[in-house]
C-alpha cells in the first residue's frame, strides 16, 4: 500500500497527529502538524482485550514502512473474538488509533471492545442494538471501538478528531469511542 496516496485519508493530518507529541509545550494539536515528515518516525500500538485476555504492545511502522509480521499480529488481535475470524485490518485505522493515543499522552493501553466483526456477528449485534450500522466498517476491518480508563470519551474523541482522517463516534453512555478510516465525520454524545 502506498501510504502517501491513500484515498479518503489525510496523510498530513495523521502525520501532524504523530508529530503533536514531539512538541511538548504545544497547547493545541494544530501547532504540531507537519513536523514529522522525514524525522525517523516509529509507530506503536498498545491494546488489551478483556474478552480474550490478550495484550498487544508492538511497533508496527518504522522509517516509513509497515512491518508485515506485526500487522499480522494486529489482525489476529483485532479478530472477531466470537468466531475467531480474522481479516486484514486497514493500516489507516491502526494509524488513527496510534496517533490518537500519542496525542492523549498516556502509557495505558487501549481496551479493545470491537475490531473486526464478521457479517454474522454484526447482524446479531444489530438485532440487539440500534447503534450498530448495517454496513459497519467493522466488517471491512476499518474500525475499532476503544476505551481508556484514564481519559474520558470526550478527550479520546477530541484526539481522534484532531487526526482529521476518519470517523469518530462518541458513545458516552457505554464509555467508548469508535474510530474508523472512512470519511471524516463525527457523531454521538
Predicted pLDDT at 17? 54
Distance, C-alpha 113 to centroid of its chain: 12
Residues in CB range of 64: below 8 A, 6 or more apart: 3, 41
Per-state percent for the chain, helix, strand, coil, to nearest 5: 35, 25, 45
Q: How far apart are CA 114 and CA 112, in angstroms?
A: 6
pLDDT for 41 equals: 78
12 pLDDT above the threshold of 60: no
Looking at mean pLDDT, say which of 14-18, 25-29, 185-189 comes out highest. 185-189
User: For the segment 142-178, what is each residue's pLDDT rounded down to a tens digit?
Assistant: 999 999 999 999 999 999 999 988 999 999 999 999 9
Q: How far apart are CA 104 and CA 110, in angstroms?
A: 11
Cβ atoms 156, 148 nearer than 8 A: yes
Residues 34-91: pLDDT tens digits?
333 444 578 899 999 989 999 999 999 888 889 999 999 999 999 999 999 999 999 9
The CATH number of 11-188, from 1.10.150.120, 3.30.1380.10, 1.20.1250.20, 3.40.50.720, is: 3.30.1380.10
Return the pLDDT at 77: 98
Q: Report the DSSP beta bridge partners of residue 48.
A: 55, 111
DSSP secondary structure letter of residue 89: P
71 DSSP 8-state letter: H
pLDDT at 133: 87
> By mean pLDDT, which of 5-19, 33-47, 94-108 is the weakest?
5-19
pLDDT at 143: 97
Residue among 68, 73, 43 nearest 56 (CA): 73
The secondary structure element, H or E, covering residue 45 is strand 42-48
Amino acid at each position: 500500500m502506498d501510504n502517501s496516496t491513500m484515498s479518503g485519508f489525510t496523510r498530513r493530518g495523521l502525520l501532524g497527529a504523530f508529530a503533536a507529541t514531539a512538541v511538548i509545550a504545544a497547547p493545541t494539536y494544530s501547532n504540531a502538524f507537519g513536523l514529522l515528515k522525514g524525522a525517523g518516525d516509529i509507530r506503536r500500538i498498545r491494546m488489551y482485550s478483556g474478552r480474550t485476555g490478550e495484550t498487544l504492545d508492538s511497533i508496527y511502522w518504522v522509517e516509513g514502512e509497515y512491518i508485515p509480521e506485526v500487522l499480522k499480529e494486529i489482525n489476529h488481535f483485532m479478530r472477531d473474538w466470537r468466531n475467531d475470524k480474522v481479516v486484514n485490518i486497514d493500516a489507516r485505522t491502526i494509524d488513527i488509533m496510534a496517533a490518537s493515543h500519542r496525542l492523549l499522552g498516556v502509557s495505558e493501553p487501549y481496551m479493545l471492545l470491537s475490531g473486526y466483526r464478521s457479517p454474522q456477528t454484526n447482524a446479531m449485534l444489530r438485532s440487539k442494538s440500534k447503534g450498530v450500522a448495517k454496513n459497519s466498517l467493522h466488517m471491512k476491518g476499518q474500525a475499532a471501538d476503544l476505551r481508556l480508563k484514564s481519559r474520558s470519551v470526550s478527550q479520546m474523541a477530541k484526539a481522534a478528531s484532531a487526526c482529521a482522517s476518519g470517523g469518530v463516534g462518541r458513545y458516552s453512555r457505554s464509555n467508548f469511542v469508535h474510530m474508523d478510516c472512512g470519511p471524516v465525520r463525527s457523531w454521538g454524545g
